Structure 1
Amino acid sequence: MNVMRTGILLAGLVALFLAVGYAIGGQTGMLIALVFSVGMNAFAYWNSDKMVLSMHGARQIDRAASPDFYDMIERLSRNAGLPMPKVYVMDNPQPNAFATGRDPEHAAVAATSGLLSSLSYDEIEGVMAHELAHIRNRDTLIMTVTATIAGAISMLGNFAFFFGGGDRDRNGGLGMIGTLLMIIVAPLAAMLVQMAISRTREYSADRAGAEISGKPMALASALARISNAAHHVENDTAEANPATAHMFIINPLSGRRMDNLFSTHPATENRIAALKQIAGEMGGAAPQAQSSGPWSGGPARPNKGPWG
């Protein structure tokens, strides 16, 4: 289903690029936009996961670098019926995580150092189970491609500003008014693309993640703690790349800028309420008292705290 949705999304974005290209440069602009959009779509399908990981400074780790965290992902992957994904850590103080990849065979999960140092073992397990659920649900293809394309749509507004409006005849009479409209419309289009794919996806991944880990209330507790931290600990790389915000388990943006238009997550309170209901269905109990983080000093030192 998500493969079909991705195909529809890509086709719609080609049409959008053509329209913007025509508005900026007439028939010539439309032709350039067609070539650019086809090339970008192909690139996004094969390389968007690498781009997103690179944007956030993620570094791949193995069992030797962090045996407890790596073993956790391996065990949860077996529970989910998935092949072992690549595992990445981002040196970022804000607790957060995301999954990426075009299919389960080419998937990766990434967690921030803030997540690994500030949440309990069970909470981290709940978060990573949620991310593996995205992989199993094949959400990561459309999530990652959308992150790349949404950024490109926003970039069109900048192109319109620099190259549009100078020749009223060439851009079909839109002139400066048309250019200003495109500057406004392009980011809004990116926002709408993200909003169209995000809300139900998170609820579904929460449910599947609770089933994979068997600890819905640990995930609920993690969501509350991550959401609270996101308001106080700025994620500089996410602020610089707001089109990737929908990929994270909790919106990483501070909300102090217009970039918060890219916020597409359901309310954390509603997700927690849904997880409490799931816990009741599974016979779960109330959240356990919070323990200290899994280790001190970041992911390279896994033998301290509850991990040990």
Structure 2
Amino acid sequence: MTTVNTLKTVFLITLMTVLLVFIGNLIGGRTGMIIALVFAVGMNFFSYWFSDKIVLKMYKAEEVNEASNPRLYRIVRNLATRAGLPMPKVYIIMNGTPNAFATGRNKNHAAVAVTNTLMNMLDDDELAGVIGHELAHIYGKDILIGTIVAMMAGTIMTIVDIFQWSMILGGGNSDNEDGNPLGFIGSIAMIILAPLAATLIQMAVSRSREYIADQRGAEFCGNPKALASALHKIAYGIEMHPMAEAKPATAHMFIANPFAGQKMMSLFSTHPPIDDRINKLVTMANSRSGRAY
């Protein structure tokens, strides 16, 4: 698993560099490529060391300890011990949407964040299921991948937004004096395809991870049906109160897609359908008890 995730990380960093250089070429030709390459090298370094802190700050996550939130801290500590993991830092996000995510570059520098609404909505068994899921991401050594992808997607989308405005303010000049090999048509193609590429990358690293984290998280907490019940409540909570503050670039990091209406966009969702995840967990629970589903 370590080797696989190391290869995935190297692949994603390489892919991010290629995409940024390609975008730089479309925007500014050779000069743009050089600038993009320098930017990509800096971004790769920054993503490894600081992206988790950026994500936590983005959502105004506040660190808690055993004294300030004994219920959450106790559940995280007990499950971390059961999973054989170092105690991660624990954060609460004041937000009206029930959700959670894990971040960090490795198990020794990891963090788990949950919203206050999630804590209020779930009982201890359900909350343990969610925490187990997040610790499974840490155990599986894929939190760095998810965090790097968040930075990569955010960077691509930001560059595209800036380029769109530069085209509008610049009058959509289609001259090829700057070395842009595809001219105006290439610029339009980049505006359309670059965010799509970022979304596809998120999907590629997120969907399979969620099934694995569900199964392993259920094993950590010892109660697959509790996690299934938690997912059901989370899905309902998101439908009633989508996370308006959520950034598309970080959507794949959450235990459930923070945006409402994901059924309509299931083909391009960063997460597998909640109903499928719940069914797999119920099947897992029933197989343990010897009953057919």
Once the two structures are superposed, residues 206-257 of structure 1 have per-residue CA deviations (whole angstroms, 9 ceiling, x without a partner) of 000010000100000000110111111121221xx1111111111001249x
Contact 2:129–2:224 (CA under 8 A) maintained in structure 1: yes
Residue 48 of structure 1 aligns with an amino acid whose one-letter code is S
Matched with 1:196 is 204
Deviation at 1:205, TM superposition (A): 0.3
Structure 2 CA distance for partners of 1:121 and 1:213, relative to 1, 3 Å: same
State the aligned residue count. 283
Deviation at 1:169, TM superposition (A): 2.3
Matched with 1:293 is none
Once the two structures are superposed, residues 19-51 of structure 1 have per-residue CA deviations (whole angstroms, 9 ceiling, x without a partner) of 111111000000000000110011011111001
Distance 1:198 1:173 in 2: 34
Superposition pairs of residues 234-253 of structure 1, within 5 angstroms: 234-238=242-246, 241-253=247-259
Matched with 2:49 is 46
The runs of 5 or more residues in structure 1 that have no matched partner are: 286-308
Once the two structures are superposed, residues 247-303 of structure 1 have per-residue CA deviations (whole angstroms, 9 ceiling, x without a partner) of 1111001249x9999731001111011101211233289xxxxxxxxxxxxxxxxxx
Match of 2:176, SS state, is coil
Matched with 1:219 is 227
Of 89, 92, 97 in structure 2, the residue corresponding to residue 94 of structure 1 is 97
Residue 3 of structure 1 aligns with an amino acid whose one-letter code is T
Structure 2 CA distance for partners of 1:194 and 1:92, relative to 1, 3 Å: same
Contact 1:94–1:115 (CA under 8 A) maintained in structure 2: yes
The runs of 5 or more residues in structure 2 that have no matched partner are: none
Residue 76 of structure 1 aligns with an amino acid whose one-letter code is L
Matched with 2:275 is 269
Deviation at 1:176, TM superposition (A): 2.5
Structure 2 CA distance for partners of 1:48 and 1:261, relative to 1, 3 Å: farther
Residue 201 of structure 2 aligns with an amino acid whose one-letter code is V
Match of 2:113, SS state, is strand
Matched with 1:9 is 12
Identity %: 49
Superposition pairs of residues 93-132 of structure 1, within 5 angstroms: 93-132=96-135
Match of 2:87, SS state, is coil
Structure 2 CA distance for partners of 1:34 and 1:163, relative to 1, 3 Å: farther
Match of 1:231, SS state, is helix
Contact 1:215–1:284 (CA under 8 A) maintained in structure 2: no
Once the two structures are superposed, residues 103-147 of structure 1 have per-residue CA deviations (whole angstroms, 9 ceiling, x without a partner) of 000000000000011111111110011000000001101011111
TM-score of the pair, normalised by structure 2 = 0.91
Deviation at 1:163, TM superposition (A): 4.2
Contact 2:266–2:272 (CA under 8 A) maintained in structure 1: no
Contact 1:146–1:194 (CA under 8 A) maintained in structure 2: yes
Match of 1:108, SS state, is strand
Distance 1:262 1:47 in 2: 28
Once the two structures are superposed, residues 43-83 of structure 1 have per-residue CA deviations (whole angstroms, 9 ceiling, x without a partner) of 01111100111111100001110112101100000011000
Deviation at 1:16, TM superposition (A): 1.1
Q: Structure 1: which 4+ aligned runs deviate by more than 4 Å? A: 258-262
Of 183, 188, 196 in structure 2, the residue corresponding to residue 175 of structure 1 is 183
Contact 1:216–1:284 (CA under 8 A) maintained in structure 2: no
Structure 2 CA distance for partners of 1:277 and 1:105, relative to 1, 3 Å: same
Structure 2 CA distance for partners of 1:213 and 1:206, relative to 1, 3 Å: same
Structure 2 CA distance for partners of 1:48 and 1:246, relative to 1, 3 Å: same
Distance 1:44 1:284 in 2: 46
Matched with 1:57 is 60
Structure 2 CA distance for partners of 1:130 and 1:190, relative to 1, 3 Å: same
1:161 aligns with 2:144: no
TM-score of the pair, normalised by structure 1 = 0.87
Distance 1:175 1:85 in 2: 49
Once the two structures are superposed, residues 170-213 of structure 1 have per-residue CA deviations (whole angstroms, 9 ceiling, x without a partner) of 14353332222111111101101101111110000000001000
Match of 2:240, SS state, is coil
